[in-house]
Amino acid sequence: MKIAIVGAGAIGGFLGNRLAQAGEDVTAIARGATAEALRRFGWRMDSGGVRITTPAKVETDAAKVGAQDVVIVAVKGPAMAEVAPTLRPLMRDDTAVVTAMNGIPWWFAHHLPALGGARPLESVDPGGRIIDAIPAAHIIGCVVHMAASVSEPGVVRHALGQQYIIGEASGVATPRLARIADAFRGAQLDVVVSPAIHRDIWYKLWGNMTMNPVSALTGATMDRILDDPLTYRFCLSVMAEAAAIGRAIGCPVEQSGEDRQKITRSLGAVRTSMLQDVEAGRPLEIDALLSSVREIGGRMGIATPELDALTGLVRLKARTLGLYPPAADDAR
């Protein structure tokens, strides 16, 4: 298949390397130092003490690439409003857009009757501009369970995991979904095809919506956050609010917060993606991880005092560092 990867960071770089190795026709849409590194050295990944290098095709302008079978969007949420209109040259009517992103994506309200079906979430898609540029009919949801980081432009450091859960937002098993699953399996990924991708998105969010912002606030790794009894209990209280919202929208979590945190603690001294963004001076994914959950809770009439406090604190931290937009509508 012809596959374009938009966002050649940790996740995009990992997928680009694996899919290109498997013989897929992969093109990276990248800019700046990342584009230059990919042109000079190809896809590079350090995994298990081995550097894996694969030749890469790179373009900075999507219009030069043309229509693709699959577009993998692996950028961070804050970049989507700018990125979305630039993807139109990559898309034809049957192009699948795979969203390998953290948190709540712009299309999440679609196919969820409890959220009004097609009414976008303002926190992640103000005015519905992203869904206008990339309509929900193109979307294949993707949940990534993997730890990876970028050690330098164009170089991915893969720590652990490689599970990719994919599914149509409608829940229908389509031929294009099967083709993408086959391509991912051909790239030696652990693939799960889900009939309820919204639930999978919510479950991952439920597990990392506390670790990310608390690490950004404190600079602590996940083990230290959970080893402190006060932050441990605070995280559980936020998770309880999110679990109540999940039940209300048809995304119940079949696990206790304590059991989920045991899994998190077993991963050890992990530096979350949000902590890495703070240290690198990159915009923080506050809206995809927190503001969107507050908005959904508000639509369902569920109070979220603990989540409100966490959102306010990390938003203030990010604004102080210049990593989140100035106050405009803090009621959201």
Q: Per residue of the chain (332 residues), what is the pLDDT tens digit?
A: 999 999 999 999 999 999 999 999 999 999 999 999 999 999 999 999 999 999 999 999 999 999 999 999 999 999 999 999 999 999 999 999 999 999 999 999 988 989 877 689 999 999 999 999 999 999 999 999 998 999 999 999 999 899 999 999 889 999 999 999 999 999 999 999 999 999 999 999 999 999 999 999 999 999 999 999 999 999 999 999 999 999 999 999 999 999 999 999 998 999 999 999 999 999 999 999 999 999 999 999 999 999 999 999 999 999 999 999 997 655 44
- Entry pTM: 0.94
Q: Within 192-304, where are the H helices?
A: 197-208, 211-218, 222-227, 229-248, 257-266, 273-280, 286, 292-299
Note whether 138 and 269 are same-domain residues.
no
Give the C-alpha separation, 48 to 44, whole Å. 13
Q: Any idea what the CATH number is for the domain that residue 208 is in?
A: 1.10.1040.10
Note whether 236 and 140 are same-domain residues.
no
> Is residue 326 a part of any domain in this protein?
no
Among 132, 163, 195, residue at a domain's last position: 195
Q: Any idea what the CATH number is for the domain that residue 140 is in?
A: 3.40.50.720
> Is residue 264 a part of any domain in this protein?
yes
Interacting residues of 133 by C-beta distance below 8 A, sequence separation 6+: 84, 85, 87, 88
Element at 26 (helix H, strand E) = strand 25-29
Among 170, 195, 220, residue at a domain's last position: 195
Maximum distance among all alpha carbons in the chain? 54
Q: Is 219 exposed, middle or buried (0-12, 13-18, 19+ CB in 10 A)?
A: exposed
Output the six-digit token pair for 271. 């530096």
Element at 43 (helix H, strand E) = strand 43-47
Contact predicate 101/73, CB 8 Å? yes
> Is residue 151 a part of any domain in this protein?
yes
Note whether 188 and 231 are same-domain residues.
no
Note whether 177 and 221 are same-domain residues.
no
Note whether 45 and 170 are same-domain residues.
yes
Total domain count, the chain: 2
Out of 57, 204, 262, 317, the active site residue is: 204
Note whether 181 and 269 are same-domain residues.
no
Q: Is 204 a catalytic residue?
A: yes
Give the C-alpha separation, 90 to 212, whole Å. 32
> Is residue 311 a part of any domain in this protein?
yes
